[in-house]
Structure 1
Amino acid sequence: MKILKNVEVAKRALLVINFMAVLFYSSVYLSATKYIIENNFSRSLLEKINIIPSSPERIFWLSNLFFIGLLLVMYVRNREFEKETKARDWLAVLEIILLFATFFALQLSYNGLILLVFMDIFFSYTDFYTFREKKAWLLFIVASFGSLLLSNYDVLSLLVRTPDLDVYINFFPASTRLVISFIKNGLVSLNMIVFIISLMTYIIYSVTENHKIEEELLMAAQANTRLKEYVAVSEKITEDRERRRIAREIHDTIGHALTGISAGIDAVTVLIDLDPEHAKKQLSSVSNVVREGIVDVRRSLNKMRPGALENRTLKDALEKMLSEYQELSHLQIDLNYHWDNVDFDKTKEDVIFRVIQESVTNSLRHGRATKIKISMLSESDYVLLIKDNGTGSENIKYGFGLTQMTERLAIIGGRVAFSGKDGFSTTIHIPKIQGEEG
């Protein structure tokens, strides 16, 4: 983005400004000392600074070498360690060490390097959002600007005895002093201005990005709401279609069978006294109609079975269904199946399958769970435990899904209990029937 490019340009400008500043300050010490010696002002210098000064060559070479080392560490940290790692953190610590090494090598005369290092470290990280990171960054910011204030020569000279650069500059002729002071103050001011501009640019960028994220989250929330409404409407349409299909099945099978049975019984009622033999034949016809009706009803019920249960055992069908859920979502589902030697009738299998399917759907849709554990145990009853790590709810409201689950289990004599503590758990007991366990 353009704003980030501007920040990068400002960072490079700070590098150039600080390089010029370090070179300028160290050169002033070197040239001023030579000028003082050449003009026999050494005694006067010692009287004014009240301390034996360091070698100007030592000041020049150490400060520039430390600063070059600082630049190399910055380059390596930002180019070779782009991801936030421990090595990158240690290089940031090394940056701070080289910063103070350069600062002391320059006899505490230039503290603008603090802004450069602060900018380099601050702009290279993104983890500002956890409470722990917020505390660490707050401490870093306070320490940086505290160091900037305390490293001012007027403040620091009260604690540490060191030669003042202005004393050296005052030995030059007036015209030279004017030029040197202008460059010195210009570099300090320019360094501060570029830093403030870059910081303000970054703040504007961060605020703009936050607004964009908020807008995108709002749009996502609206889209999610519309999607939920669409799902609800789709479910309603599906239910209506299913009702109409079932109604047609009933009309085409049971309806015709019951009509035939009713007519046959009416005929038998009339014939039983007049022609008993004919009445028996009529009853035989009614019996055939009843058998055909039973076959049709079973055929209709088989059509209504879950697709996963067709030509599969209950365990295989559950594993297939749960595997599909895991592939389509972030859910991690653990199935403990201990009913291998149990032979349920189709009605029980359908109910158990639908109950587990509804529970997993609720965990994903309402509880926002990431893990679900399903245990199918054989005790005095068949026990089905479904536990997730979702949000849960102390006040459980029986919506369509939970109500339908309870009603389905009641058909096979089962009972269910729900708990919303520490996620959401469903405990189901299904009574055993003789002959189910092999």
Structure 2
Amino acid sequence: MTKLRGIRYSLILLKIINFIAILFSSSLYLHATNYIIAKGQGYQLLEQLREIPSSPAQNFWISILLFGGILLITFYRMRQGTQEWSVFDKWNILEILLMLGVMMALSFSYNGIILLVFADIFYGSKEFSSSKDRRYWFAFILLSFIVLLVTNYDILSLVVQLPSLDAYIAFYPSSIRMLILFAKNALASLNMVVFIISLLFYILSVVAEHHRIEKELEMVSQVNTELNSYMALSEKIAEDRERKRIAREIHDTLGHALTGISAGIDAVGVLIDIDPGRAKTQLQSVSTVVRDGIKDVRGSLNKLRPGALEDHTLRDAVLKLVHEYQAISNLQVELTYDWDDVDLDVMVEDTVFRVIQESMTNSVRHGHATHMQISFLLEDAYVMILKDNGVGFDQLQVGYGLKQMRERVSILGGRIEFANRNGFYTRIELPKEKGGKIL
């Protein structure tokens, strides 16, 4: 904030200095002309001038009025607040034309106004607010330097016939002449110093802004690292909970069933020689326990199914998953589903759903993808292709999620392939026949 205030104050000071310098130069032409005429040295002046000058009074008012137009444009910009203008805006072009008019009215005896106009356009144009548009920076600075060089009286007078202010000053007494030259050079030097100070304030503000952005990026990176650690820990906790839940399900179903079966078979082994009838009855009881155990196992497997598949088809479950991810992230998913007439086993549906779920999670979390294609195709096998526009990989790091995907697909006799194709690419092939295997 202090640096921006410094730029604003520097611009105000530049306006004041340039107003004084223009008033000084135009008044000097007017006063010197009257002084020379009063001394009766008009003829000597015309002999020294390379061209007959225009009316000094007329030039005085033209230069003051044109500079007033420049001030009105700068004040208008200030009233607009933070609005940024294009470098090719009509107000910028008008400001440059007014600047040229002021210098022509002063016979190019003062060109420091270029620094004021340069600063006003440079600090107020949107093309210069970003370091990305460096072509504008270079072109504008080069153009300003050329204009500053070309409008220098000593250079321009070699090409164009111009009345020299020094010729007018030469008619004053030496003491007054020295004061005039001192004031003229002091104003030009002060104008340059203030302009350089304004540039320093601007550079400091840009550096401070870069430091602020770097700090914010570091904070974001730190938060992202902590979030990834938290997510990894959450996955581990969820994995442990899932294992414990499965262990409880096995204990409550298979554990009790197998214990009963073991005890029943032991009893049959004792009774088969003593009382075959009771042994047969005991075998029927064991058979009942086995059937009940199978029912319990099926019930446990249904509990382990993804919630989205409990009351929905695979297509509906995938669509629900896609909508959920699109709602909570920037990921847009393009779905192609050609499996409408396919009757899949429950285990296959579970595997397909889990694979898609893991792929979408990886695309958002690790790939930072914004677009993903999911295709369910029918070829010689059931084919799934998942491709995103994320960062991809140079060397594949197989973590827990990808291992689980491979294991699930392998259990079904399928094949899974990972590749980097302008993003993460996954191709899965599952056999159409139960018990088949993709080679």
TM over 0.5: yes
Matched pairs, number: 432
Q: What residue number does 2:212 align with?
A: 212
Of 128, 131, 146, the residue aligned with 2:130 is 128
How do 1:335-414 and structure 2 match up within 5 A? 335-414=335-414
Amino acid paired to 2:66: F
Q: Secondary structure at the match of 1:107?
A: coil
Deviation, 1:4, is 0.9
Partner of 1:284: 284
> Counterparts of 1:89-128 in structure 2 under 5 Å?
89-124=89-124, 125=126, 126-128=128-130
Counterparts of 2:93 and 2:266, CA distance in 1: 100
CA contact (8 A) 2:87 2:121 kept: no
1:343 corresponds to which letter in structure 2? D
- Structure 1 residue 423: Cα displacement: 1.4
**Map of 1:129-144 to 2, 5 A cutoff?**
129-130=131-132, 133-144=133-144
Residue of structure 1 in register with 2:269 after alignment: 269
Counterpart Cα distance in 2 of 1:88 and 1:297: 76
Amino acid at match of 1:56: P
1:129 maps to amino acid: S
Aligned-residue offset at 1:296: 1.7
Q: CA deviation at 1:355?
A: 0.8
List per-residue Cα deviations over 1:132-176 (Å, max 9, x = no partner).
x11321232233234334433223322332112122223234454
Within 2, Cα distance between the matches of 1:36 and 1:83?
A: 50
The structural deviation recorded for 1:76 is: 4.1
Letter of the structure 2 residue corresponding to residue 229 of structure 1: S
* Structure 2 unmatched ranges of 5 or more: 435-439
Aligned twin of 1:34 = 34
How many Å apart are 1:94 and its aligned residue?
A: 3.6
CA distance in 2, matches of 1:345, 1:57: 100
Aligned pair in 2 of structure 1 residues 320, 157: CA closer, same or farther (>3 Å)?
same
1:236 partner amino acid: K
Give the drift of 1:81.
8.6
* Distance in structure 1 (CA, Å) of the matches to 2:137 and 2:90: 16
For 1:295, the equivalent position in structure 2 comes to: 295
Match of 2:437 in 1: none
Match of 1:71 in 2: 71
Q: Deviations over 1:294-349 (max 9, x none)?
A: 22222222222223323222222222222222222222222222323333232222
Q: 1:86 to 1:122 in 2, by over 3 A?
A: closer
The equivalent residue for 1:60 is 60
1:146–1:399: structure 2 CA closer, same or farther, 3 Å change rule? Answer: same
1:80 Cα shift?
A: 4.3
Distance 1:253 1:345 in 2: 23
* Correspondence for 2:24: 24
RMSD: 2.4
Q: Distance in 2 between matches of 1:264 and 1:202?
A: 91
Between 1:414-423 and 1:119-128, the stretch displaced more is 119-128
After superposition, the Cα gap between the structure-2 partners of 1:189 and 1:222, relative to the gap in structure 1 and judged at 3 Å, is: same
Which amino acid is the alignment partner of residue 204 of structure 2? I
Provide the rounded CA distance (Å) in 2 between the counterparts of 1:390 and 1:427. Answer: 16
- Alpha-carbon distance change, 20 to 340 in structure 1, aligned in 2, over 3 angstroms: farther
Give the Cα–Cα distance (whole angstroms) in 2 for the partners of residues 90 and 372 of structure 1.
45
Tell me, yes or no, if the aligned pair for 1:264 and 1:282 is still in contact at 8 Å: yes
Change in 2 beyond 3 A, CA 1:94/1:286: farther
- 1:393, 1:421 within 8 Å by CA — same for their partners in 2? no
Which residue number corresponds to residue 49 of structure 1? Answer: 49
CA contact 1:81–1:88 (8 Å) conserved in 2: no
